[in-house]
Amino acid sequence: MRVLALAGRRLLSSVPTLLLILVGIFLLLQLAPGDAVDALIAQTGGGADAASAAAMRAEMGLDLSVPAQLANYMWRLVRLDLGFSSIYGKPVSTVIFERLPATLLLMLAALSFAFFFGLVLGVLAARRVNGWPDTLISTLGLIFYATPSFWFGLMAIVLFSVHLQWLPAGGFEEIGSGFTGLRRTLDIATHLVLPTLTLGLIFLAIYLRIMRASMLEVLSLDFVRTARAKGLDETRVVVRHVLRNALLPMVTLIGLQAGTMLGGSVVVESVFSLPGLGRLAYESVVQRDLNTLLGIVFVSALLVICVNFVVDLLYARLDPRITP
Amino acid sequence: MDPTRRAILLTSAALAGNVLMPQRSFAQQQPQRGGVMTVHFATEQRILNPSLQASTGVYIVGGKIQEPLVDLDAAGRPAPCLAESWESSADGKTITFRLRRGVTWHDGRPFTSTDVQFTAMEMWKKILNYGSALQQFLDAVETPDAQTAVFKYARPMPLNLLLRALPDLGYISPKHVYESGNIRENPTNTAPIGTGPFKFLQYERGQYIIAERNPNYWRENLPYLDRVVWRVVTDRSAAAAQMEAGQILFSPYSSLTIADLQRLGRDPRFDVTTKGNEGNARTNTLEFNFRNPILADLRVRRAIAHAIDVPFFIENFLGDFAKAGTGPIPSVSTDYYPTEPMPQYPFDRRRANALLDEAGHRRGAGGTRFTLRLTPAPWGEDIALWSTYIQQSLQEVGIRVEIVRLDAAGFLRTVYNDWNFDLATGWHQYRNDPAVSTSVWYRSGQPKGAPWTNQWGWQDDEADRIMDAAQTELDPAKRKALYADFVRRVNTELPVWMPIEQIFVSVFNKRLRNYANNPRWASSSWHDLWLAS
């Protein structure tokens, strides 16, 4: 119950931020020349007559003034109506919910991969600080961090799909295969291996650096010396005493990066032809589909707020001195 | 390693392959049934029905599901499809089509002349881009019986123009599906129902479209393929990788990077060719805004053309996929391409400088005469390269060029609606007859904001007169002569310069058979396409 009340309070306090973001994006997109009808005509290759273009503008409400359009949008949002997507010809909520599973799956897989291996490699590096494992791990981390993800993705496709033919080169699942149950899960998993690695490696590098630094810091604290003096073996010291305290900055990072991952996957989604929110957002900007873009911003902002809420709860679990 | 020798060996191996290939792969093979054709689908569309939207992005899907009245044969001549024959009255105002018997829609209902009537009057005339201009003077379509459609025009309609336009602008939709409700919002628009060799099955946005074999297709025992799958791949390099991994068998309309096209062209597994796209020619443009007094001076426009070395650009940036253009009508359009030479502007920097001096634009500080803004269209790598090349070439004759890059919607709005540009560059798409989408680039009186039309502020009575006469001229020889006059006039006045001619490039996996066997193959129905194992 207390958690629910807390969640409600959190959501309320983020309403002003959400409003600011939505209005800001709405106004920013007004600065871009051209509207959804121009984008549609660009796609058809011309030859449209002026009357039908005007009719379409009226149908989409694009002939109204900017404040009137904004007011219309906000009024719909209050009634939890995200509007109609001009590109997809469906309600925005449907369009977004179709894309959400792929995005969340990719984000969760990449985050868990980065978090787990970042943690393990960070601990290993800290345990052998300045030794060869540390140098090797740190160098690898630097390489992962410095490599652009589109290049990483393309090279992974060239190696694993074109030359070795181990994994599919793109897509979310085998098209028209009719797989169900476990077979389908496996199929989707094999399609997600390369995108997860590509998206996860950059974040892995960050987690690794943070974990290493944080471990080194905690290792030098007094209570670690006390634990050792008690005669605890090294594994127990590291796992029970050091790791738990060193995890705090990592958890903070997850909260921060959940947002980045949602937006940052445009590149990975395009390279691997995945139907995610990042590509949808990019297309909405190019097509001037304001409703869809604002809908995505709204949903992503909600997701980030949720993730940060969970992170706050985790803090309290890891460190009893903090109360959410 | 001796690169020259290696290159020669590779070339001779490729030549030997070319000579041997036809016998091995075509003459002695029986078509095999079954298999799945996978297609690179680069730009997702809002609708898939080609009777409502004329664009390559729609034909690549809808052209397998729906069919036009008239198609093009291997030599590019109009060939029967849903119409078996046609004739025109002497005054050119009545054109009669006899329709094919025994054709059914994918939902089982028969195809009749009322479908043609409904599509022509409600879709081509009212909604279809380019169709609405083409059918502007179509008064009615009469249906004396189920197999006859009689088109009644208020002004003479040259039969040649209509037959060349119909393969693209003549797709038929089922009346019984569309007759009630708003046509634009009909759910069938993204789940088309047609008479074609493939039946629509599924469209997953952002992922794929599937169509399967139509067992009741009117061409007996066709098609050979079981399915066609279009894979949505927006990243060009990723699409090239999927071609190599065999996940995609065909990438149409120059959708890969120029570097990848050249690389795959050297790979024996692929055929990289302009073949099968002759009906989709385009020219690169340089558009002048006459509201800028500097550009309203013919000497300046000619100087700009003389200052740019087009053959050098083509050789070094576009390679084999382009050639120097001679005007708005590309050389593949043999029916209308002028036989006599037309005014041209070969590279001549001294002449360019002289013309600019003569126009009174002396070099000022730093050798600059004046500054212009160049707005390139965002489609196509060649346009980006071409705009940079223009910038550097004009720098040499003292014209400073600032490049203003915009996305698709921004480009159309800025150039064709706000007229906020000095120079613009993009593509002019030629659609088999100059009256379809070429004369609008020059004819005055275009509505403001209509893209790819004369928005330059240029008006020329002589050019207008020629275009209007050609639009309704029934005699093919006279029509051709009129279009030669047209090219001569616009090449002299130079409101738009069209110095490069290109045909789209396709990449085929060589397992495919019967590909590229007509001039609009990517758009055509693929009823005879098959896959070798």
| A209 at interface of B, judged by CB pairs closer than 8 A | no
With beta carbons less than 8 A apart as the criterion, state whether B8 and B220 touch.
no
- B452 neighbourhood in chain A, CB within 8 Å: 45-47
**Residue A119 tokens, joined:** 């943690």
With beta carbons less than 8 A apart as the criterion, state whether A177 and B260 touch.
no
- B234 neighbourhood in chain A, CB within 8 Å: 270, 273, 279
Out of A44, A154, A158, name the one closest to residue B129 (CB): A44
Residue range A176-194, pLDDT digits in tens: 777 888 888 888 888 999 9
Q: Answer yes or no: is pLDDT of A254 > 70.
A: yes
Residue B408 C-alpha, separation from nearest chain A C-alpha, in angstroms: 6
Name the residue of chain B whose CA is nearest to A96's CA.
B205
For residue B513, the model assigns a pLDDT of: 92
Instruction: Specify the DSSP class assigned to residue B122.
Output: I
Residue range A233-244, pLDDT digits in tens: 888 888 888 888
Q: How many residues does chain B have?
A: 533
Name the residue of chain B whose CA is nearest to A35's CA.
B409
With beta carbons less than 8 A apart as the criterion, state whether A191 and A175 touch.
no
- CA nearest A182: which of A172, A193, A170, A190? A190
Give mean pLDDT, residues B499-514: 94
For residue A1, the model assigns a pLDDT of: 65
Strands B399-403 and B70-72: unpaired
Strands (E), A92-195: none
For residue B43, the model assigns a pLDDT of: 85
A147-161, B1-15, B257-271, B353-367: which range is least confident on average?
A: B1-15
Residue A319 C-alpha, separation from nearest chain B C-alpha, in angstroms: 44
Name the residue of chain A whose CA is nearest to B452's CA.
A46
Instruction: Say what percent of chain A tops pLDDT 90.
Output: 2
Which residue reads 């690389």 in tokens? B263
Out of B45, B129, B407, name the one closest to residue A46 (CB): B129
Which has more confidence, B226 or A25?
B226
Q: Answer yes or no: is pLDDT of B369 > 60.
A: yes
Name the residue of chain A whose CA is nearest to B436's CA.
A47
Query: What global pTM score does this model have?
Result: 0.86
Burial class of residue A323, CB neighbours in 10 A (0-12, 13-18, 19+): exposed
- B233 neighbourhood in chain A, CB within 8 Å: 170, 273
Q: Answer yes or no: is pLDDT of B134 > 70.
A: yes
Name the residue of chain B whose CA is nearest to A171's CA.
B207
- A296 neighbourhood in chain B, CB within 8 Å: none
A9-23, B312-326, B341-355: which range is least confident on average?
A: A9-23
Contact A33 B406 (CB under 8 A): yes
Give mean pLDDT, residues A95-108: 87
For residue B63, the model assigns a pLDDT of: 95
Out of A36, A43, A158, name the one closest to residue B45 (CB): A43
Out of A32, A42, A150, name the one closest to residue B412 (CB): A42
Q: Answer yes or no: is pLDDT of A222 > 80.
A: yes
| A154 at interface of B, judged by CB pairs closer than 8 A | yes
Residue-by-residue DSSP string for B370-400: EEEEEEE-SS-HHHHHHHHHHHHHHHHTTEE
Mutate to test the interface with B, among A60, A160, A175, A266 (most CBs of B within 10 A): A175
For residue B44, the model assigns a pLDDT of: 84
Contact A32 B410 (CB under 8 A): yes
Mutate to test the interface with B, among A56, A162, A172 (most CBs of B within 10 A): A162
For residue A84, the model assigns a pLDDT of: 84
Instruction: Specify the DSSP class assigned to residue B110.
Output: B
Give mean pLDDT, residues B416-443: 92
- B414 neighbourhood in chain A, CB within 8 Å: 33-34
Give me the residues of A, 100-129, that contact B with CB < 8 A: none
Residue B228 C-alpha, separation from nearest chain A C-alpha, in angstroms: 11
Instruction: Say what percent of chain B tops pLDDT 70.
Output: 95
Q: Answer yes or no: is pLDDT of B344 > 50.
A: yes
Instruction: Specify the DSSP class assigned to residue B78.
Output: E
Q: Output Rg (C-alpha) for chain B, integer angstroms.
A: 24
Residue range B207-229, pLDDT digits in tens: 899 999 999 999 999 999 999 99
Name the residue of chain A whose CA is nearest to B185's CA.
A89
- A47 neighbourhood in chain B, CB within 8 Å: 54, 129-133, 437, 440, 452
Contact A283 B44 (CB under 8 A): yes
Give me the residues of A, 37-56, that contact B with CB < 8 A: 38-50, 52-53
Give the three-state DSSP class for B34: coil
Which residue reads 């249906």 in tokens? B143
Residue range B245-304, pLDDT digits in tens: 889 999 999 999 988 999 999 999 999 999 999 888 999 999 999 999 999 999 999 999
What is the interface pTM, i.e. ipTM, of the complex? 0.82
Contact A34 B54 (CB under 8 A): no
Q: Answer yes or no: is pLDDT of B10 > 50.
A: no
| A324 at interface of B, judged by CB pairs closer than 8 A | no
Residue type, position B24, single letter: R
Contact B231 A35 (CB under 8 A): no
Out of A48, A169, A175, name the one closest to residue B242 (CB): A169
Q: How many CA atoms lie within 13 A of A50 on its CB side?
A: 10
pLDDT-based confidence at residue A263 (cuts at 50, 70, 90): low
Give mean pLDDT, residues B36-47: 90
Q: Answer yes or no: is pLDDT of B9 > 60.
A: no
Contact B409 A35 (CB under 8 A): yes
pLDDT-based confidence at residue B14 (cuts at 50, 70, 90): very low
Give the distance, in angstroms, between the CA of residue B66 and the centroid of all CA atoms in the same chain.
Answer: 19
Q: Answer yes or no: is pLDDT of A323 > 70.
A: no
Q: Answer yes or no: is pLDDT of A259 > 80.
A: no
Residue A263 C-alpha, separation from nearest chain B C-alpha, in angstroms: 17
Out of A39, A53, A168, name the one closest to residue B409 (CB): A39
Q: Answer yes or no: is pLDDT of B22 > 50.
A: no
pLDDT-based confidence at residue B353 (cuts at 50, 70, 90): very high
- B45 neighbourhood in chain A, CB within 8 Å: 43
> Which domains are present in chain A?
2-92 (no CATH), 100-293+303-318 (1.10.3720.10)
Give mean pLDDT, residues B369-394: 95
Residue A293 C-alpha, separation from nearest chain B C-alpha, in angstroms: 16
| A96 at interface of B, judged by CB pairs closer than 8 A | no
Average pLDDT, whole number, for chain B? 90
- B227 neighbourhood in chain A, CB within 8 Å: 176
Residues 6+ apart with CB under 8 A from B193: B65, B105, B106, B107, B173, B174, B177, B200
Residues 6+ apart with CB under 8 A from B258: B317, B318, B319, B321, B381, B382
Out of A49, A170, A175, name the one closest to residue B229 (CB): A175
For residue B15, the model assigns a pLDDT of: 41
d(CA B86, CA A93) in angstroms, rounded, equals 49
Residues 6+ apart with CB under 8 A from B474: B88, B92, B156, B158, B159
* Angstrom distances, CA of residue A174 to CA of A226, B160, B306: 56, 46, 54
* Angstrom distances, CA of residue B348 to CA of B237, B354, B357: 38, 10, 14
* Angstrom distances, CA of residue B32 to CA of B77, B216, B513, B522, B530: 28, 19, 10, 21, 6
- A33 neighbourhood in chain B, CB within 8 Å: 406, 409-410, 413-414, 418
Residue A48 C-alpha, separation from nearest chain B C-alpha, in angstroms: 4
Say how many C-beta atoms besides its own lie within 10 A of residue A186's C-beta: 11
A4-8, A76-80, A124-128, B317-321: which range is least confident on average?
A: A4-8
Contact A32 B409 (CB under 8 A): yes
Average pLDDT, whole number, for chain A? 84
| A191 at interface of B, judged by CB pairs closer than 8 A | no
Q: Answer yes or no: is pLDDT of B491 > 90.
A: yes
Residue A149 C-alpha, separation from nearest chain B C-alpha, in angstroms: 13
Q: Answer yes or no: is pLDDT of B20 > 60.
A: no
Contact B408 A172 (CB under 8 A): no
User: Buried b / exposed e across A66-76, counting CB within 10 Å, b at 16+?
Assistant: eeebbeebeee
Give mean pLDDT, residues B409-438: 92
Q: How many CA atoms lie within 13 A of B29 on its CB side?
A: 17
Q: Answer yes or no: is pLDDT of A217 > 50.
A: yes
Q: Between A and B, how many residue pairs show a Cβ–Cβ distance under 8 A? A: 174
For residue B148, the model assigns a pLDDT of: 96
A49-53, B123-127, B293-297, B298-302: which range is least confident on average?
A: A49-53
- CA nearest A98: which of A275, A248, A298? A275
Residue range B72-109, pLDDT digits in tens: 998 888 999 999 999 999 999 999 999 999 999 999 99
